[in-house]
Each structure stands twice: as structure tokens, then as C-alpha cells.
Amino acid sequence: MKRAVAALMVLLISSIGLGGERAMPETIHEVKAKHAPRFLALPGVVSVGVGRDAGGAEVIVIGLDRARPETQASLPAQLEGYAVRVQFIGAVKAQ
Amino acid sequence: MAHDLDSVRAALVKSRSRLLPQSNVVATGVGYKVTRGRKTDALSIVCSVTRKLALRELAPRDQVPANIDGIPTDVVATGVIRAFQERTARLRPAPGGVSIGHRDITAGTLGCLVRKGGQTFILSNNHVLANSNDAMRGDAILQPGPVDGGRFPGDHIAALEDFVPITFLEPPSECQFARGVIAVLNAGCQLIGSRTRYRTVNIQATENRVDAAIARPLEPALVKKDILEIGTISGLGTGSLGTAVRKSGRTTGLTAGEVLQVDVTVNVQYGPGRTAQFSDQLLAGPMSQGGDSGSAVLDHNNRLIGLLFAGSENSTIINRIEHVFSELGLTL
């Protein structure tokens, strides 16, 4: 019986912990920072930033050097609740 | 009541000789009247003036009437109109927005003047003033840059003072073990039908935030505070999504754009096979070309918000001025 109570307490405490995390969602900048390195390692990805969609909502924008069907197919439409847009910005060069 | 173009033109031709001699008027034309910052659909006689003044500050003969023959007038401040100044020419004193460069490069843009330790310096990019890290303090800076005919010693304007080194991404790893691991991973991906492929890269030690350098003018009188077609900097600002910006550069002159992305991490090519990754950059629409690097980027209140250094067919990449100033220890 004591063991069951202890197990219940552990469950309860861990669920409070999870709840706490859910109450503090990550900002779009935190989500972008977390995922940018893996996108930038994909062929043709030249940039990852935060922009706005036509409606004014903040979105994560992934810039490609040109049409890259394989890379595009592997990019998500959303990341942790934030929309992801793909833009062809071309190769970026020092000017 | 809206007037047709012909009647407005006729009124302009008749009144032009009366308007142009007025002390403040520099040009006249026909255009849509702008009221409270918004273009209306009423044609008007546009009088461009050096600067807008209150009516009471003007002698009656220098006042532009509210309407001429019933056609509304519109007074627009354009400043003094000067003959086009060649940005690739040798200019003394040299303002911001003109050609400059380290003696071993092609040319970039003189951004603006900044202060450090009570002295005045020229601000531009590392790849303009410090040849992408391949330079030493004291190296000759030419105005115009070498590709525009700048030669040493005749066009020597400044000496390289300081730059923030750029960390370049290493080419694919030479590590045999890493390549073996990657080969196994990619074979595994192929087996399970995944399109993902891995590649080896060397991790760079630090991330870049700026491509910036400063040079010390040989004499204070060789440079000037103004930026061509922009004027003087009013202070420091911060770029955020939607900020309207302008730059004055060697190649494309005065251009305007808007900050479309912030917090941008971007891979920038510095010649064949040489790439550097920059973080916390601003991205604007296309407003620059090769040779514009080093241009100061200002908002519409003439606050300095960034340093232009890279771009593609449809983007311009800008360092935040906060990072430029903190990494080089600068003030305005």
C-alpha cells in the first residue's frame, strides 16, 4: 500500500513538472534557434529566420538557393505550433 | 473637384515662371496631391522646396498659394538638388556612400564615420577594409577602391585600424572516421527508404554576427560626416520586422527596402568554396549589388540601424548596428 502511494506521489509530481513546461511555450525565436542547425545542414538551405506571413503572423522562414524538391519534401509545414514558410532567396554572397 | 492632366499642365506652364524664382522652390511639376501622408486622386501642381517652412516665416512673394487657377498645389521637401555625384570618383572630403577599399580588393562602400576613444574612424566591412581577414593594422585603404581606379599612394585615404575576424566554415571534414560513420548512416537511410542524407562538417568555433572593420583617416579633413543623398545620422536605432530602411551605396546609390526577416541565420559565400555563417542578421528585400557592401543602413528618421554586407537576387543581408558597435567598441 505504501509503495502504491509512493508511486502515485511520483506520478503526481512528474505530471506537475510536465504541466509547468506546457504552461511556458517556447517563443518562435527559441524554436527557430533549436531547429536552424539541422535545416542549414540540408542541401540548398541558405537561411533560417523569422518573418511575417501575409496576415501579419510571425512565421519561421527557410531560404533556399533554388528549387530543391528533395530538401523541400523534408521540411515541415509547422514547428512546435509555428508555421514554416519556404522562400527562394538565391545564393547569398558577400557584396 | 479633380482636374484633368491637360488643364493642370496648362496651369503649370503659366505659373512656372512665377513659382521658380521664389527663394525656396527648386522644382515644379504635376503630381497627385499627398494629404497627411496619403496619396489622393487629385492632380496638383507640385512645388519642390529645399525645406518646408511655416507661412509666417516666408515673405508673401515666396509663399506658394494653396491653389493656382483653382488647381491645388502641393509643397514637397526635396532638399537642394545637386548635379549627380560620381560615387566611384575620388572625393575629398569623402562622404558616406562612395567607393572605398583595402589596396588588395576590388571596391566596397564607405559606410559612415564612427568614434572610438575620442577619434574618428571610417566604418565599413571586414571584406572591404580588411580583405576578409587577410590584412594587417596600418594597411592602406584607397578611395576610390582599386577597381574604380584608386591607386597607392595618390588615393590613400586611411589606414586599417581594427576588424572583427570572420570565422569561415571549413570544407567537408577530412576526418576518415567521421566519413566512415556518415557512409554507414547514409547506407542505413537508403535501406529504410529515407531521403535524408548526412554529411560531415567541421563545427566552427564561434558564430559570426558582423562583417565589420574600421580605418583611421590620414587626416580628419579627408572625410565628411554626411552620407550621400541621405545626410547626417540622427542617432542609433534598432531594426525590427517591418522597419523601412534606406542605404546609400557605391553601386546602386540610394535605395529603400523593408526588414522582412529578423533573427536570420544565413550562410554567405565569400568567393568559391568559402562560406561563413552569420546569426542574428536582418534580411531586407533586394536593395543592393556587388560593391554596395559596407553601406550604412538607416531607418526613415535617419537613425543608423545596420551595416549592409551581403545579398542575393532577392535579398539583402544586414548586420545589426548594435553588434557592430559592441564588437568594435564604437560610438557615433
Tell me if B268 and A36 make a contact (CB, 8 A cut-off): no
Tell me, yes or no, if B71 comes closer than 8 A to chain A by beta carbon.
Answer: no
Give the residue among B332, B209, B193 at the shortest CA–CA distance from B263.
B209
Measured between CB atoms, which of B260, B290, B308 is closest to A51?
Answer: B260
Tell me if A52 and B199 make a contact (CB, 8 A cut-off): no
- Cα B146 → chain centroid: 20
Mean pLDDT by 10 residues, chain B (332 residues): 81 85 82 83 87 84 88 84 77 98 97 98 98 98 97 98 95 62 65 58 68 98 97 98 97 96 98 95 97 97 98 96 98 98
Phi, psi of B163 (to 5 degrees): -150, 155
Tell me the nearest-neighbour CA distance from A19 into chain B, angstroms: 29
SS3 B309: strand
**What is the residue type of A88?**
F
Alpha carbon distance B138, A5 (integer Å): 75
SS3 B125: coil
The pLDDT score that the predictor gives to residue B213 is 98
What is the value of ipTM here, to two decimals? 0.79
The pLDDT score that the predictor gives to residue B204 is 47
Query: Scanning every residue of chain B, which has its alpha carbon at the shortest distance from the alpha carbon of A94?
Result: B310
Alpha carbon distance B65, B57 (integer Å): 15
Q: Which residues contact B253 (CB under 8 A, 6 or more apart)?
A: B87, B97, B228, B229
Give the residue among B306, B307, B299 at the shortest CA–CA distance from B258.
B299
The pLDDT score that the predictor gives to residue B126 is 98
Alpha carbon distance B80, B65 (integer Å): 21
Cell of B127: 571584406
Tell me if B312 and A92 make a contact (CB, 8 A cut-off): yes
Query: Do A64 and A86 meet the contact criterion of CB atoms below 8 Å apart?
Result: yes
> pTM of the prediction?
0.71
Tell me if A47 and B267 make a contact (CB, 8 A cut-off): yes
pLDDT tens series, chain A, 95 aa:
567 666 656 555 555 544 444 557 899 999 999 999 999 999 999 999 999 999 999 999 999 999 999 999 999 999 999 999 999 999 999 99
Q: What is the number of other CB atoms lying within 10 angstroms of the CB of residue B226? A: 17
Alpha carbon distance B312, B295 (integer Å): 16
Tell me, yes or no, if B262 comes closer than 8 A to chain A by beta carbon.
Answer: yes
Chain A residues within an 8 Å CB radius of B211: 94
Tell me the nearest-neighbour CA distance from A81 into chain B, angstroms: 18
The pLDDT score that the predictor gives to residue B234 is 98
Query: Do A60 and A79 meet the contact criterion of CB atoms below 8 Å apart?
Result: yes
Chain A residues within an 8 Å CB radius of B170: none
Chain A residues within an 8 Å CB radius of B264: 47-50
Query: Scanning every residue of chain A, which has its alpha carbon at the shortest distance from the alpha carbon of B272?
Result: A93
Measured between CB atoms, which of B290, B293, B315 is closest to A89?
Answer: B315
The pLDDT score that the predictor gives to residue B85 is 60
